Structure 1
């Protein structure tokens, strides 16, 4: 009987390790490299204004075709005064070049990424990127543009919105395409990365973007982020 129990424990342990889910003694999943600590997240939380719920002012129109609002400027434009702006390379390719490993560029270009490998910061999976299959790896706005519009960006000057939409330092991440589409414009109260190991990392990015641009979080977002922080080392 004892031998059977030991065998069962070993099987479960091996399954967890093979699945990449190594837990600590109280069942927490160790955070991904580069994740902020509990104290850092709690400090960020003290800097963020909290609102009861997400307003819905209307008027959000991302598209830039004729007759459309283009409220955050053309997608991935290099024409902004933020990090990476006016350097001759659009923000999408800049993010890909930063995050991917084994990067190759289009012939004759030092900007356009043609291939590479992503360690996805939402699922933890390694994903191959090829320019001909670009939907497999997409660029996420960690603090979604639609949410930012509702939470205050509707009142910003266009230049500030364009900078926010292309901020390669705090608000853009290359991620698994399907996961990005599932996330949509949801915020932490309704969405967290599928891989628990990346919750602390995501929370840090979300709160840093909010702090840099003076954006609030909802009471539900704050509660979700507090729960994440408590599980971080």
Structure 2
């Protein structure tokens, strides 16, 4: 047999070359005979319960590390379930004193907790209103006008941004912050209280006069005039209180149970503030508004918003010299907007 040696290759090198080629052919032949590798199918696993699935989806992963204890509200979804069942898990206690309460305990009004560049108030207006008109140059944040299908009164309300018109539509804390303070929020961290005040779950755009009438009432002292919305309203309060570890009074519990008795299948939902967003929320916004050109003196008093603007002090925020609730038409903590 005549062996052909590749050009430029020594005879000993040719032997190595031929040996390697034969080894490769044997490997290919063995693979072809064996056929594709197959793995016997595993026995189907039993279907996981929805509760287990929720728990698995909420578990922290390497890409989403667990937040530090006490830094954030409970994971979204912890309050999900039938409202009556969730209500049964909420402690029943007496109302604590209101001592120490102020709006500032829940952070600056309408902080941008989700870091989308828009304050929470405008986020809620964009969510709840239709036929929106947005202010140019604001990154589609500021709502100039729209139509609200009000859940509290079952009426259509035209919203028009302005000093004398904005108050027709107000953003209601479904669980009033004062009520939350007296039922457990005193024990929350500053970040948790800020999250509670800005959680979309706890916020609704509603009829201004109805919101004023409600004030800081709970389900035992105030319910929406629109009776068809009461089941969802009470379920929303239960969702918030369960998500943030708040309690209810006996009268409040009984009122909630009575309403839900007529709609026992009404469900709740969990907090809508993501742990990552809540953990990053500082005591003040990351990009605070620039200070007024002429700050108001300590004893400042303005007869009206026109006077505040003339002095260069508008807008006035709750806690600043010169701020008065009478000048804050929509009671959002910012007067003379």
**Same-fold call, TM > 0.5?**
yes
The answer on whether the counterparts of 2:98 and 2:178 sit within 8 Å (CA) in structure 1 is: no
**Secondary structure class of the residue paired with 2:82:** helix
Q: Please, which of 138, 144, 147 is the counterpart of residue 176 of structure 2?
A: 144
Residue of 163, 167, 179 corresponding to 2:199: 167
The yes-or-no answer on 1:196 pairing with 2:196 is no
Aligned residues: 181
In structure 2, the partner of 1:220 is 251
Task: Measure how far apart 1:94 and its partner are.
Answer: 0.3
Moved over 3 A (4+): none
- In the alignment, which residue of structure 1 is the partner of 2:110? 76
Secondary structure class of the residue paired with 2:206: strand
Matched, 1:55 2:96: yes
Residue in structure 2 matched with residue 87 of structure 1 by the alignment: 116
Determine the structure 2 residue equivalent to 1:178. 209
CA–CA separation in structure 1 for the residues paired with 2:151 and 2:134 = 22
Whose helix fraction is larger, Structure 1's or Structure 2's?
1
In the aligned structure 1, how far is the partner of 2:241 from the partner of 2:84? 14
Match of 2:19 in 1: none
Query: Residue 46 of structure 1 corresponds to which residue in structure 2?
Result: 88
Q: Give the distance between the partners of 2:235 and 2:102, measured in 1 at CA.
A: 28
**Which residue of 1 is the match for residue 137 of structure 2?**
108
- Write out aligned runs for 1:26-41 (5 A): 40-41=82-83
Does the residue aligned with 1:217 lie in a helix, a strand or coil? coil
Decide whether aligned partners of structure 1 residues 182 and 152 sit closer, same or farther in structure 2, where only a CA change above 3 A counts: same
SS state at 1:50 partner:
coil
CA distance in 2: counterparts of 1:120 and 1:183, whole angstroms: 15
Q: Rg bigger for which structure?
A: 2
Displacement of 1:96: 0.5
Given that 2:176 and 2:217 are in contact with CA atoms closer than 8 Å, whether structure 1 keeps it comes out as yes
User: Structure 2: where are the runs of 5+ without partners?
Assistant: 1-80, 265-337
Higher relative contact order (CA 8 A, sep 6+): 1
Which position in structure 2 is the counterpart of 1:6? none
- Between the aligned partners of 1:71 and 1:116, the Cα distance in structure 2 is 31
When the two chains are superposed, the root-mean-square deviation of aligned CA atoms in Å is 1.2
